[in-house]
Chain A
Amino acid sequence: MNRSDPQCRDRLAAEYVLGTLHGRARRRFERLLAAHPDLRQRVEGWERRLLPLAEELPPVAPPRQLWKRIEAATRPPREPWWQSLGFWRPLALAASLAVAVLGVALFGHHGFDPEYLFVVRGESGEQQWVIRASDEGRLAMVPLAPPTMPAGKVCRLWLVAPDGSVHLVGVLPEDERRQLRLPPGVQGEFARAQVLVTVEPAGERDTQPDGPVVSRGTWARI
């Protein structure tokens, strides 16, 4: 296709908007778009023509949890230590191994074998808490180097079940190990749940995480 021919330019613009232009051709076209106002105009013309079609699809409600994630990700940071925390940052293999070693060292002799571990990390990757859970439904939160919380704020631990339901586990302790039972609603499938830590006002009986997300991820199985 000769890109200097107006008909060809128009056809490329149409196929770009239609979506049939893929891969390298699409990327190349996007680069051309940035430099050629004429192409941009053609694309906008085709968007006006074709995009109303997108509104014909019957709406599908996204899971409620999604808004919480978007809301948290766009919330301006109020304290530096959770500012650029790895939202969605996968736990690197090296970190998992470190966690495993650390977990065994911390929990190896407390009466049950550690089965699942999660490390809450600070901004520069420092380990703030270790969370462990066992298949019998027990969970322990161990402070390693917890951050200094602003007055009236606490870190809460939640589990997000595979079906998107959110279960409050409790407040992360500042000075000593805390052990409790997993919330009944998530016991059967906690291993597949996401671990979520948010900053919330102290003393409130929260049912949903509303505050900034400090950390989230999946359990490392030991």
Chain B
Amino acid sequence: MRQAEPERLATLIRACAAGDRRAFASLYEATAPNLYAVVLRIVRREDWAQEVLQEVYLKVWRNADGYRPERAAATTWLSRIARNRAIDRLRRERPTLGDAEFPFDQLVDDGPGSEASLAHEEESATLRRCLEALPRQQAQCIEVAFFEGLTHPEVARRLRLPLGSVKTWIRRGLASIRACLER
């Protein structure tokens, strides 16, 4: 989400809780392109992604008073809502979901703001370093699972790897990430 502005986002969320519609519009403007990217990558259909994103912001508007800045950064809170909604939607639609590749590259926003720096540039960079320190297959399993909201068997199918190995690598990878971040 645009620039190092977690505090601004937290302020906007608090203002939403007080019913400030202009703050809601600013929050949407600052965060929707990131959350849309997250949701789209998981549900892989633009119509579903738009419906999910609408649900996400309705939830943000209604539950803004439940946001606790001391417990989670604004971007974390927003990403959590977006990811959970998208995964729920995927779970509901799964029986009809084909394996068609979605043309993500064509959807990348080249407009202003696309080079937006990260809200938690440092946290994100540290996490990236930890991911890159993992054996390649562990990192790959974790990234595919995370970005696309896939289950173990789906990750195994996508990467053409044995299910048992996928489970083991994800477990080990997560443990290593934790250790690396705590270092």
Chain A positions within 8 Å of B, measured between CB atoms, are: 11, 14-15, 18-23, 26, 44, 47-63, 66-67, 69-71, 73-75
Contacts and interface: CB of A to CB of B under 8 A. Distances in A.
Given A23-B91, A62-B36, A69 B54 contact: yes
B91 A22 contact: yes
Contact of A74 (B61, B87, B145): B61
B137 interface: no
Contacts of B87: 19, 22, 26
A57 B37 contact: yes
B127 A19 contact: no
Contact of A52 (B40, B42, B120, B155): B120
Contacts of B155: 20
23 contacts: A11-B174, A14-B174, A19-B42, A19-B146, A20-B152, A22-B91, A23-B151, A26-B87, A26-B91, A48-B73, A50-B127, A53-B143, A55-B79, A55-B119, A55-B120, A58-B37, A59-B37, A59-B109, A59-B114, A60-B37, A67-B25, A67-B28, A73-B58
A61 B36 contact: yes
Question: Dominant SS at the B interface?
Answer: helix
Interface residues of B, number: 63
Contacts of B142: 18
Contacts, number: 144
Contacts of B24: 74
Nearest to B152: A20
Interface of B: 1, 21, 24-25, 28, 32-34, 36-38, 40-42, 49-50, 53-54, 57-58, 61, 71-73, 75-76, 79-80, 82-83, 87, 91, 107-109, 111, 113-114, 116, 118-120, 123-124, 127-128, 131, 142-143, 145-147, 149-152, 155, 170-171, 174, 177-178, 181
Contacts of A62: 32-33, 36, 49-50, 53
Given A26-B91, A51-B76, 10 more contacts: A11-B171, A18-B145, A19-B145, A22-B151, A52-B118, A58-B108, A62-B53, A67-B28, A70-B58, A75-B21
Contacts of A56: 118, 124, 128
A18 B170 contact: yes
Contact of B80 (A21, A47, A55, A67): A47
Contact of B25 (A20, A51, A54, A71): A71
